[in-house]
Chains A and B, each alone.
Chain A
Amino acid sequence: MSGFSLSTPQSAVTRSYRSQFDRLIRRMFWAFSALPLFLAVSILSALWVKSQPILVAHPLAELLLGSAWKPQRGEFGFLPFISGTIWVTVVALVIAVPVCLLTAIYLSEYASGRLQRLIKPLLDLLAAIPSVIYGVWGVLVIGPWVQHSIAPFLSQWSHIFPIFTATNPTGYSILAGGMVLAVMIAPFMIAIAYEVFQTVPLGLRQASLALGATRWQTVKYAVLPKAISGIVASLILGCSRALGETMAVLMVVGNVPQIPRSIFDAAYPLPALIANNYGEMMSIPLYDAALMTASLTLLVMVLGLNLFSILTLRHVLREKK
Chain B
Amino acid sequence: MRWKWQYLEEKFMQGLMLLSFGLILLSLLLILFTIVSKGLPSLSWEMISQTPKGGFYLGKEGGILNAIIGSLYLALGGTLIALLFAFPLALLLNIYLSQRLWADIVRLSLDILWGIPSIVYGAFGFTLMIFLGWRASLLGGILTLALLEFPIMARAMDEVIRRVPPDLPRAAYALGSTNLETAFLVLTRQILPGIATAILLAFGRGIGDAASVLFTAGYTDRIPNSLFSPAASLPLAVFFQLGTPFPEVQQRAYSAALILTVIVLGVSLTSRWLSHVLDRYSIH
Q: Do A and B actually bind?
A: yes
Query: Which residues of A are in contact with B by a Cβ distance under 8 Å?
Result: 6, 15, 18-19, 21-22, 25-26, 29, 32-37, 39-40, 43, 46-47, 50, 98-100, 102-103, 105-107, 110, 121-122, 124-126, 128-137, 139-141, 183, 186-187, 190, 214-217, 219, 237, 240-241, 243-247, 251, 271, 274-275, 278-279, 291-292, 295, 298-299, 302-303, 306-307, 310-311
Also in contact, A50 and B127, with CB within 8 A (given A15-B176, A136-B242, A246-B118): yes
CB-based contact A133/B261 at 8 Å: yes
CB-based contact B88/A32 at 8 Å: yes
Q: Does B40 contact A (CB under 8 A)?
A: no
CB-based contact A103/B21 at 8 Å: yes
Chain B residue nearest in CB terms to A11: B176
CB-based contact A244/B215 at 8 Å: no
B12 to chain A, nearest CB (A): 8
A123 to chain B, nearest CB (A): 9
Q: Which residues of A contact B268 (CB under 8 A)?
A: 121, 124-125, 128
B37 to chain A, nearest CB (A): 10
CB-based contact A183/B176 at 8 Å: no
Q: Which of B202-228 contact A (CB under 8 A)?
A: 204-205, 207-211, 214-215
Q: Which residues of B contact A105 (CB under 8 A)?
A: 17
Bitwise, B6-43 to A at CB < 8 A (1) or not (0) is 11011001101111110110011011001100100000
B24, B181, B235: the one within 8 Å of A186 (CB): B24
Known contacts A103-B24, A106-B17; can you find 20 more A-B pairs with CB under 8 A?
Answer: A26-B96, A32-B88, A33-B89, A36-B109, A102-B16, A105-B17, A129-B31, A130-B207, A131-B211, A133-B264, A136-B38, A136-B242, A183-B27, A187-B24, A247-B211, A274-B119, A278-B122, A295-B120, A310-B108, A310-B112
Give A185 to B81 CA distance when docked, in angstroms: 28
Question: Which secondary structure dominates chain A's binding surface?
Answer: helix
Q: Does B93 contact A (CB under 8 A)?
A: yes
A29, A217, A246, A292: the one within 8 Å of B210 (CB): A246
Q: Does B64 contact A (CB under 8 A)?
A: no
Chain A residue nearest in CB terms to B268: A128
Query: Which residues of B are in contact with A by a Cβ distance under 8 Å?
Result: 6-7, 9-10, 13-14, 16-21, 23-24, 27-28, 30-31, 34-35, 38, 85, 88-89, 92-93, 96-97, 102-103, 105-106, 108-113, 115-124, 126-128, 147, 150-151, 154, 176, 178-181, 201, 204-205, 207-211, 214-215, 235, 238-239, 242, 253-254, 257, 260-261, 264-265, 267-269, 272
Q: Which residues of A contact B116 (CB under 8 A)?
A: 40, 43, 244, 299, 302-303
Give A241 to B118 CA distance when docked, in angstroms: 10
Also in contact, A131 and B208, with CB within 8 A (given A33-B106, A125-B265, A183-B27): yes
A107, A110, A134, A275: the one within 8 Å of B211 (CB): A275
CB-based contact B7/A214 at 8 Å: yes
Q: Which residues of B contact A136 (CB under 8 A)?
A: 34-35, 38, 238, 242, 253-254, 257
